[in-house]
Structures are given as structure tokens and as C-alpha cells.
Structure 1
Amino acid sequence: MNDIRKKLQEEITVLEHELRTELPKEILTARAHGDLSENAEYHAAKERQGLVNARLNKLRQRVAELAMIDFTKIPHGKAGLGSEVTVLDTGKDEEVTYNLVMSEDADAGKNMISTTSPIGRALLGKTVGDTVKVTSPGGTKELEIVTLRTVHDLAATD
């Protein structure tokens, strides 16, 4: 979770610098060119200013939401945010290990899946031995949980 907060904070810092330093300079320079009604540079800078402001608000809201996550309420012994879950795809007779993460950290290539994805939602609250059916654009899969390490287990080993 600290990685997510750090990544969000870094983006906030970059955007705040752009909003407070770079964009005001661009707007002043564009204003110096005269008639604002036909000044493409001015309109582009103002539009970018609005986009940066909107993104900053969204990032700040996400940081506030992250601060409210109560890790003590993430269950012990059941799949939840931060869990590492190894499942057996019964249709392919193949094991896959997934890490349940927040949407910002999702990376299918690294088997880091969001808790809001079809597989992530299906695994939440499940324990070793449970079988879940997941319907996705590729069809329906049946996954059996083989091993589970919760965020609490992983924190204890670090």
C-alpha cells in the first residue's frame, strides 16, 4: 500500500509543480501575444490547467481513500486485499498465483489482479479448498484455491 501512496504522491508533486509554476508562465506568455479570443496557445494552456486540476483532485481523493483502509479489518485466513492466492484452473489443470491488489497496481502480465476484476471479486473472502466460477470475456473458468497467504501472513514474513 505504501508503494501506491508513494506513486500517487509523486504524481501529485509533478502536477502541482506544473499547475503552480509552468502553466502560469505559459498563460502569461500567451496573454502577451494579444487577442485572447483567437489565441490557441492561451486556450491550450487554460485547457491543460483544467485537466491538471481535475487529475489532482482525483489523486488527492484516492490518497484520502487509501488512508482510510483499515488493515485490521482485512480477514485472516480468507482472500482479501494484499493476498497471494494460488489457484488451480480445473479446466486447464494449471496452477496460477495471483496477487490481489488495488486497481492502481493491477498488472495482468505480473498476475497482479484488482480486487474489482472478475477473478479478484470471485476470490475475495474465500479460503483454501474453495472453488469459484469466474465468467470473463474468455468464458467461464473454475478455480480451486490451493494456497493462500493473506496480507497479514506476508507482513509477518517481511
Structure 2
Amino acid sequence: MSKASYYTPEGLKKLRDELKRLKDIERPSASQAIAEARDKGDLSENAEYDAAKEAQGMLEMKIAKLEDTLAGARVIDESQMDTSKALVLSTVKIKNQTNGMEVIYTLVADGEADLASNKLSVNSPIGKGLLGKSVGEVAEVQVPNGIMKFDILEISR
């Protein structure tokens, strides 16, 4: 059974598009590769056939995982969210108490996380530490190096 995960409408569309691509393009391509390898003769000594079958198995696992994720996916209605606390889809400005560095992150579901665009997973250590916090609070985050403390400066949508 899949667990519920929350997505923006754009993030959910991206997942559905990826699943459609895997099923409509990659799956037929994998089947074609197996058929071509099968035509080359004895299957017991055909490394190309074994590789094609293994690639197909990996593709089917990827499709199953994506279907499971989509089964538990929920779209977030931002109009119903509490804006006083850091929640999924909140944009949070934080300040590291150790080095004074300020960073702005948007808290998103795992499938939408992208550090290059400052989208941080709510399941990451920092994401978990920020969830439920309000402006003015201090988020203490357990990292392998110890505990990091962040001041919550702003929360927006």
C-alpha cells in the first residue's frame, strides 16, 4: 500500500507524464530490443537477450513504483492551508545560527525536491525540522555532524 504524498498540480502532472512516457515509449522499445535479441539465435548463450530482459525488468519496476506513488498522490489546496506555520508548499526563509547564512527554501514532496531551485523535501532532515514551525521559532535539525539551529525569519506561500 502506498503512503499519501502531497504534490502541486504541476508536480502531479510531471509524474503522470513520466509514467505515460515509460509505458508508451520505453516499454515498446524494451519489447523490441528483446525481440531483436531473440532473433539472433540460441538464448542460452545470448548475452544481448539477457541484458534486454534485465533492462525490461528494471523498467517494469520503475513503472510499478511510479504507479504506487501516483496511487497515494494528493493535490494540495493552498487556499485551505494555515499560513502561520511552515507546511508543504511553504516558502521559508531561514538563518543558520552558526554562520549567519540566510537561505530561502520551498518545502515540497519528495518527487518535486530539487536543491538547485531551492525546493527541499519535507522528508529531508532540514525539511522535517522546519515543518510546523512559525516565524520567530528556532528549528533544531539533527545532522551527522551534530545539531544545526535555524531561525525562522519568514514564511510565505
TM-score, L = length of structure 1: 0.82
State the secondary structure of the residue aligned to 2:88: coil
Alignment identity in percent? 36
RMSD of the TM alignment (CA)? 1.9
State the secondary structure of the residue aligned to 1:141: strand
Corresponding residue for residue 42 of structure 2: 35
1:70-116: CA deviation from partner (whole Å, max 9, x where unpaired): 54775442111100011122222232211111122222233221101
Aligned: 1:18 with 2:26: yes
Written as runs of structure 1 = structure 2, the 5 A alignment for 1:102-117 is 102-117=109-124
Bigger helix fraction: 1
Q: Distance in 2 between matches of 1:108 and 1:18?
A: 28
Moved over 3 A (4+): 68-76
TM-score, L = length of structure 2: 0.83
Q: Which has the higher contact order (CA 8 A, sep 6+)?
A: 2
1:24-68: CA deviation from partner (whole Å, max 9, x where unpaired): 2222222222211111121111111111111001111112221x3
* Range 72-81 or range 24-33, more displaced: 72-81
Aligned residue among 50, 54, 72 for 2:57: 50
Q: Give the number of aligned pairs.
A: 148
Q: Distance in 2 between matches of 1:112 and 1:70?
A: 16
